[in-house]
Chains A and B, each alone.
Chain A
């Protein structure tokens, strides 16, 4: 058999995976704080006997696109967006830290500040406990102050400050739960330079045009792989015919 068939098959398979990445980005154009996944192809030489003429194209992840998304005003004081670079820190089910840009927070009945999916948002010393309040304010630097229930208008109590980090974008990977972590797993120190905006949500940073173009591009690439597979079949057919005639 002609081994070019396998090279083309591997190419088609990897193209389908890349198509999945593009479709996932497109499906998440409406997800708050979503960061687009980046992918690219790398060449991996075929190991084994024979000349090193064959190279597989293999898709690899490139981490996440950290360009900021558009800010949408919601006027809900518990909606917070990071402006510029930086991340919120949340605690995952196993107690480890992960980063997110999705700032649609809620206060649960026991007063813990949580994300929309229910993970506790971390402050300077662990999860943030919010007392019953009449009004809540989140300042530019993440400082949370409340006007407690029943207190006068002038009494604002400062309760905690959101932990905001700004790790090197190159070292970030997305986990299976969609949360972002550092590749080396080391905890990041809080960064004072990260700014947040309250009453806003950050939209997904997927560039819809780019994602659609990528889809079309991959569809054509897939067709090329199909052509190569047909060519491989034609080659084999021709060889068959030659053998039959003799």
Chain B
């Protein structure tokens, strides 16, 4: 059949994937510490119908070959780890990371997950947990009579206990960093898992050795740029239309073939 039909179909597929990524970005425009995704495309393999430089006779060579492309494919949906804005909330358990690094969270199945969403809460046992109730690692347990909690830029958690002049240190938050954060596997819940492409986590103290510092009473917003996503959406829609136009043109050619012969 007409190769153009199948080639244009790969174009439709690619634009559809891109539209899915864009709508996911737009849907998460208000998700704390969401990192936007980007679909990357690559041309599919080429069919070499005539090799350039092949002998066209004993003494002559073909000056140009013929390589027919077979379309496009989505090669990756990459997460873009640029810093989101810092928005002040005043809540003392809200933490934003200013720079590189991830909070470590223990999932109920025992696996370690990584997140930049620092909207923590306290559960019934006084432990710092995420909005889903997953515990922050290393665990921070607040005494039940703590009056106020201060978290320093380098992760030290100190609580003011009644009847004591000095605040007492109750734990330290540590951050994990990866050689290739874009290689982390997103699993939803604002969380990521370590993967073969991300490299092993390097645990460190916030604001030291290249890790970002913590800001108490603030949250990192999503890094989705709505204007950019809108422009991408227009581009995707038009590209989709052009590919469907290519399909209808190819279809017309086949119609002519059936009608005329």
Name A residues whose Cβ lies closer than 8 Å to a Cβ of B. Answer: 12, 16-17, 19-32, 34, 37, 39, 59-63, 74-76, 102, 104, 106-111, 116-117, 132-134, 149-150, 173-178, 183-184, 208, 211-212, 215-216, 218-219, 222-223, 226-227, 229-230, 233
Residues of B within 8 A of A19 (CB): 2-4, 249-250, 253
CB-nearest residue of chain B relative to A222? B253
**What is the CB-to-nearest-CB distance from A218 to chain B, in angstroms, rounded to a whole number?**
8
Q: How many residues of B contact A (CB 8 A)?
A: 71
**What is the CB-to-nearest-CB distance from B131 to chain A, in angstroms, rounded to a whole number?**
28
Determine the distance from Cα of A43 to Cα of B67 in the docked complex, in whole angstroms.
18
Main secondary structure of the interface of A (DSSP, over half): mixed
Closest 4 CB pairs of A and B: A27-B11, A109-B199, A24-B69, A20-B3
Q: Is B138 an interface residue (CB 8 A)?
A: no
CB-nearest residue of chain B relative to A35? B43
Q: Is B133 an interface residue (CB 8 A)?
A: no
Say yes or no: A226 contacts B261, CB within 8 Å. yes
Main secondary structure of the interface of B (DSSP, over half): mixed
CB-nearest residue of chain A relative to B13? A27
Residues of B within 8 A of A17 (CB): 3, 49, 66, 68
Beyond A27-B14, A30-B18, is A117–B42 a contact (Cβ under 8 Å)?
A: yes
Name B residues whose Cβ lies closer than 8 Å to a Cβ of A. Answer: 2-5, 7-8, 10-11, 14-15, 18, 38, 40-50, 52-53, 64-72, 75-76, 78, 80, 82, 99-100, 177, 179-180, 182-183, 196-200, 202, 208-210, 235-236, 238-239, 242-243, 245-246, 249-250, 252-253, 256-257, 260-261
Q: B46, B242, B256: which contacts A29 (Cβ < 8 A)?
A: B242
- Can you sample 28 A-B contacts with CB below 8 Å? A16-B3, A16-B4, A17-B66, A17-B68, A19-B2, A19-B250, A20-B68, A21-B69, A23-B250, A28-B11, A31-B43, A31-B72, A32-B40, A32-B41, A34-B43, A37-B67, A60-B65, A106-B182, A109-B196, A109-B197, A109-B198, A116-B76, A149-B210, A177-B46, A208-B239, A215-B246, A219-B249, A219-B253
Say yes or no: A59 contacts B66, CB within 8 Å. yes
Determine the distance from Cα of A76 to Cα of B44 in the docked complex, in whole angstroms.
25
Say yes or no: A177 contacts B256, CB within 8 Å. no
Say yes or no: B67 contacts A104, CB within 8 Å. no
Say yes or no: A16 contacts B43, CB within 8 Å. no
Determine the distance from Cα of A145 to Cα of B64 in the docked complex, in whole angstroms.
41
Determine the distance from Cα of A216 to Cα of B242 in the docked complex, in whole angstroms.
12
Say yes or no: B67 contacts A174, CB within 8 Å. yes
**What is the CB-to-nearest-CB distance from B246 to chain A, in angstroms, rounded to a whole number?**
5
CB-nearest residue of chain A relative to B82? A75
Residues of A within 8 A of B10 (CB): 27
- Most-contacted residue by chain A among B18, B50, B238, B250 (CB, 10 A): B250
